[in-house]
Chain A
Amino acid sequence: MHKPVLLTILALALLASCHQVLNSSADLEEIDVVVPKSNNADSLSIEAVRKIFMGEKSSWAGGKRIIVLMLAPGQPERGVILREVFKMTESDYTKYFLQAAFTGRVQAAPKDLPSAAQMKARLAANPNAIGYLKKEDVDDSVRVLLQLR
């Protein structure tokens, strides 16, 4: 009679643990890699996005130069991009672009913008730009090329 009680308690504990794990996953930001609505680029794989953000792919299919936009350090969306796309820490990112400029591979690091509003404004102003936004900040002015968690 008491064995089922013990089993029930253990099952509850297990459920609680699962709940914690699921909750922590849900806390992650969902980030969309976006381009302006006027950009006709197809959806991109994570590898293609990595190449673009790291400066290894510098032009769209039509030959226009890609302008990569980043949110400034400290923004949570940037953390997701660094982790999922660059697979780097903030320090690695700084070193990478300093070294890439030094070797002549890129002219400079991507432009840092202070807010999602600025990101959207820049994207709206330049059809060759690519950036990223939180899912809730995405609106009709942009097209989503890749979803990241």
Chain B
Amino acid sequence: MPNFAKDTVTSSRSPRHVLVYGGALALLLVLNQTVTASAYADDQAHAGEREALRRMNEQIQELQAKVKELEARLNDGKGGASPGAVESNAPGNPLAKVTPPVAPPFEAQESPENNSAPSVKLHMFGDVGYEATDQKGVTNSFYIGTLDLFMTGALTDRVSVLGEVLFSPNADNSFGVDVERLLLQYKQNDYFNFSVGRYHSSIGYYNTAFHQGAWFQTTVDRPFMYAFDDSGGFLPLQEVGMTIYGQIPSGRLGLNYVAEVGNGSEHLFGADPAQNFRDDNNGKSINFAMYARPSWLPGLQTGVSVYHDHLTFLDNQNHNELITAVHVVYTNSNYEFLNEGLLVRHSPGSNSAPPTVFHTPGFYTQFSRRFGKYRPYFRYSYVNAGVAEPIYGDPADGEVVGRRDGPSFGLRYDMNDHSAVKLQYNHLARRGEKSFNELLTQFSFAF
């Protein structure tokens, strides 16, 4: 077996070898340069063609704009002549007379305060899927998630309306219509914004980052602690009231605040938790959240929120509810790392006999990494409400929260920029009940 390295170093003919190998290297180098130059020349030629086409396209568009302007002026001329129309009717080349191609009144299109009829922007979100489980008494089934119609409209430059209507199936197979959000918004500047109506409360991160859009979230379902009321959720995620929010001048720290005052939640089994019609007491829920999005690390957000409400029950027993949530999340094109924790504190009101305080902790951590159109993910969720918890442990007030924990593994495949397919495995352990497994599939879309 030849030893080229040794030959090169030790052979008596090494100078010749140096020349031969050197020559070969030079030849390769020249060949490489030639091929590169050739490719570069091709690229240059193509770039030149593309540039020429682009310029031609621009010229065509400019001409089209001029033609439209001429037509508009001619039409104006029929009703009442404008100075421009008079000019363009002057003898000579009409095109030459219209040479100052004044741009169309874009400001009028972009500034709603000049529009007589506000326009509506409509988006549609939805999801359907199939779920299989080994939970006793639950059948495998296709399901329709929600059909979400989301609309925004600007009434003036500062005032806008946001509406979100959900169509989702009920347990009796009928479809329910739910006004999920309805907000009148006023935007003074980046530091002060005001909205009133029904909103998603700013408890933690997840609720206001993903709302009802299954397509936005990486996973099929939400973490336990952010489950909606019709899926066994226990937090006051929807409220009717008012919100003030904006940025706090803080340089590169990127601080933001949210302050909410609402009707709070109804804690009666079968009732809609958001008190849409009337608050059942005079005490209002208050939520204050603050979070930072530092500009030195785009994608990082960390924050805290504190929510307080008075809960009133049919037996006139009052309870104070205090929910503290913290979050640290990091998201960019490839990575998603979500971490949130909360502590719910329920304490009896002044007219209650045993002054017992109950704490319910919960957290979840979720990590995902994108590989092209695929995004595998992992999540672990945990919630633990005590057995004697007066609100979360009483079936008369809703689904018993208890202790739930378990991991989820899944894979998301983005078919394009507006639709995704997800496959997820859940393992769920619950206090006093047999643990079970789920396999969920979901097709979700947004446009």
Q: Which A residues between 94 and 112 are near B, CB-CB below 8 angstroms? A: 94-95, 98-99, 101-104, 107-108, 111
Contact A9 to B183, CB < 8 A, known contacts A1-B15, A103-B211, A117-B62:
no
Pick from A9, A50, A108, A115: contact of B58, CB under 8 Å? A115
Chain B contact residues: over half helix, strand or loop, or mixed? mixed
How close is B159's CB to chain A, nearest CB, in angstroms?
A: 11
| Contact yes or no, A125 B189, CB < 8 A | no
| Contact yes or no, B107 A51, CB < 8 A | no
Contact A95 to B417, CB < 8 A, known contacts A107-B121, A116-B58, A125-B104:
yes
A43 to B107, CA, bound (A): 23
Chain A contact residues: over half helix, strand or loop, or mixed? helix
CB contacts (< 8 Å) of A13 on chain B: these are 25, 29
Pick from A10, A20, A50: contact of B295, CB under 8 Å? A50
How close is A113's CB to chain B, nearest CB, in angstroms?
A: 10
Pick from A50, A63, A95, A125: contact of B103, CB under 8 Å? A125
| Contact yes or no, B18 A6, CB < 8 A | yes
Q: Which B residues between 1 and 30 are near A, CB-CB below 8 angstroms? A: 15, 18-19, 21-22, 25-26, 29
CB contacts (< 8 Å) of B26 on chain A: these are 9, 12
How close is B69's CB to chain A, nearest CB, in angstroms?
A: 11
* B residues contacting the other copy or chain, number (CB 8 A): 59
Considering only CB atoms, which chain B residue lies closest to A125 in the complex? B103
* A residues contacting the other copy or chain, number (CB 8 A): 49
Contact A118 to B121, CB < 8 A, known contacts A1-B15, A13-B25, A58-B190:
no
Q: Chain B 183-222 against A: per-residue CB contact (8 Å), 1 yes, 0 no?
A: 1010101100001000000000000110101001000000
CB contacts (< 8 Å) of A89 on chain B: these are 333
| Residues of A participating in the B interface, judged by any CB pair closer than 8 Å | 1-3, 5-6, 9-10, 12-13, 16, 20, 23, 47, 50-51, 56-59, 63, 65, 67, 87-92, 94-95, 98-99, 101-104, 107-108, 111, 114-118, 121-122, 124-126
| Residues of B participating in the A interface, judged by any CB pair closer than 8 Å | 15, 18-19, 21-22, 25-26, 29, 32-33, 36, 40, 54, 57-58, 61-62, 65, 101-107, 110-111, 121, 123, 125, 150, 152, 154, 157, 160, 162, 183, 185, 187, 189-190, 195, 208-209, 211, 213, 216, 247, 252, 293, 295, 298, 332-333, 414, 417-418, 446-447
The 9 closest A-B pairs by CB, nearest first: A125-B103, A121-B103, A117-B58, A115-B58, A94-B417, A2-B18, A2-B15, A125-B106, A47-B295
